[in-house]
A and B are shown apart, each in its own frame.
Chain A
């Protein structure tokens, strides 16, 4: 059974810092991995999608990597800003076509 774990559960950093969020999964048989952002009380916004054949994806200040063999992904946020404060969720799409989520990392960036 696929399990997704995110570390740390919460993170508080000063503005301007570069930071890394971690995601690990137990079964490497995945279609893709997706990173989402969720603001309090809101839905999920897709940030980056990495297909199983890819190693990384970049969008602006965000870079996500995927190492299928070790069951790991990282989300790198460069030059963090207070507007980046949110919960970040990773999810893997299993070969059952089901998206399985981690419990998220709650990020606070203070001025």
Chain B
């Protein structure tokens, strides 16, 4: 079965420190990979995506993600965390083969940046 795993329910990091939110996936073929962020009482906001090409993808608000095909991972990173980055982060995968294009979301990781 196709799946996305976010192994950490919560990540705590001090403001100014680098942050990593982990994501691994189990999807056949070469899927498209996404990160979304959700602030309280809001819908999800798109951060970045990997389609093809450079394994390091840059996105909104200074976030970037590293695609590793051999480890089937797509970890979200930021060099210097801000308190305002505190939110719920979702990794999502979409199969690239024709047919179903359903999003498969991870369970989410709550990021808490401490001042």
Do these two chains really belong together in a complex? no
